[in-house]
Chain A
């Protein structure tokens, strides 16, 4: 009499556990599986359809620029690695490569921040502030990021 009841209790506990877990994680699981990153922005920052379309357009326009910067970073890194391997002292070529890498980094950060601000401009003011706190802080160079956290 008690054994079937115990099995039923265990089954109910397991079923409600999985039911609640799957129900509560449904949205995030769907968004993680979705390749479209604007879907997450739309939900997280409560974008209207029009805002979401504008952000999607911005992202599509920015994509080639981002790829180009990735290529610049890779080339700059490779160039510096080669020069460092072949140099025992500071050479003019190495100095140029270091300056080039710094310029690339600065250009990338500027472009990233421009894009982040452009995206946040399409959001409601309170959501835009939240977006900037969440995203811009991750995109800054390390010392600036440290300062920003300290000044929060």
Chain B
């Protein structure tokens, strides 16, 4: 890697004589930085791509549809059980308030 005067002369002659924009250097570095950050985004997207890849096949899509329906129904039923328990307690309290003046006064307060 010795300095070769002939090579240097050749390189200088080969450079095109065009005006360079004012922020040319900064813009180049911005592009380099953007490229460097891109792989993380791509990996994230690639993971989802691989996860969702089977959905392209009708059989897997049908299974996913059934799972979505079953999951929604299961969670809905579970939440309904809790809500029914609460409602039942409120209904018992409401009935007790019709026969027990102390409970009625407490509820009215």
Q: Which of B3-11, B17-25, B28-36, B67-75 contacts A (4 or more CB under 8 A)?
A: B67-75
Q: Is A90 an interface residue (CB 8 A)?
A: no
Is the CB–CB distance between B76 and A5 below 8 Å?
no
Q: Is B45 an interface residue (CB 8 A)?
A: no
Is the CB–CB distance between B76 and A20 below 8 Å?
yes
Q: Is B55 an interface residue (CB 8 A)?
A: yes
Chain A, 38-70, CB within 8 A of any chain B CB:
40-41, 44, 59, 62-63, 66, 69-70
Is the CB–CB distance between A12 and B52 below 8 Å?
no
Chain B, 58-109, CB within 8 A of any chain A CB:
61, 64-65, 68-73, 75-77, 79-81, 83-84, 87-88, 90-96, 98-105
Q: Is A127 an interface residue (CB 8 A)?
A: no
Is the CB–CB distance between A32 and B83 below 8 Å?
no
> Of B52, B64, B80, which one neighbours A20 at CB under 8 angstroms?
B80
Q: Is B16 an interface residue (CB 8 A)?
A: no
Residue of chain B at shortest CB distance from A9: B68
Is the CB–CB distance between B100 and A138 below 8 Å?
yes
> Of A9, A24, A66, which one neighbours B104 at CB under 8 angstroms?
A66
How many residues from B make CB contacts under 8 Å with A?
Answer: 37
B22 to chain A, nearest CB (A): 42
Is the CB–CB distance between B101 and A116 below 8 Å?
no
A131 to chain B, nearest CB (A): 9
Residue of chain A at shortest CB distance from B87: A28
What are the nearest 8 A-B pairs in CB distance? A20-B76, A16-B72, A24-B80, A28-B87, A13-B72, A17-B72, A17-B76, A21-B76
Residue ranges of A at the interface with B (Cβ–Cβ < 8 Å): 1-2, 5-6, 8-10, 12-21, 23-25, 28-29, 31-32, 37, 40-41, 44, 59, 62-63, 66, 69-70, 73-74, 105, 108, 111-112, 115-116, 119, 134-135, 138-139
**Seed contacts A17-B76, A70-B105; 11 additional CB < 8 Å A-B pairs:** A20-B76, A21-B77, A25-B83, A28-B88, A28-B91, A40-B91, A40-B95, A44-B88, A70-B101, A138-B92, A139-B96
- Listed by A's residue number, 27 A-B pairs whose Cβ atoms lie within 8 Å are A1-B56, A2-B56, A13-B69, A13-B71, A18-B76, A20-B72, A20-B73, A20-B76, A20-B77, A21-B83, A24-B81, A25-B83, A28-B83, A28-B88, A29-B87, A32-B87, A37-B91, A66-B101, A66-B104, A70-B101, A74-B105, A108-B101, A112-B100, A112-B101, A116-B99, A119-B99, A138-B103
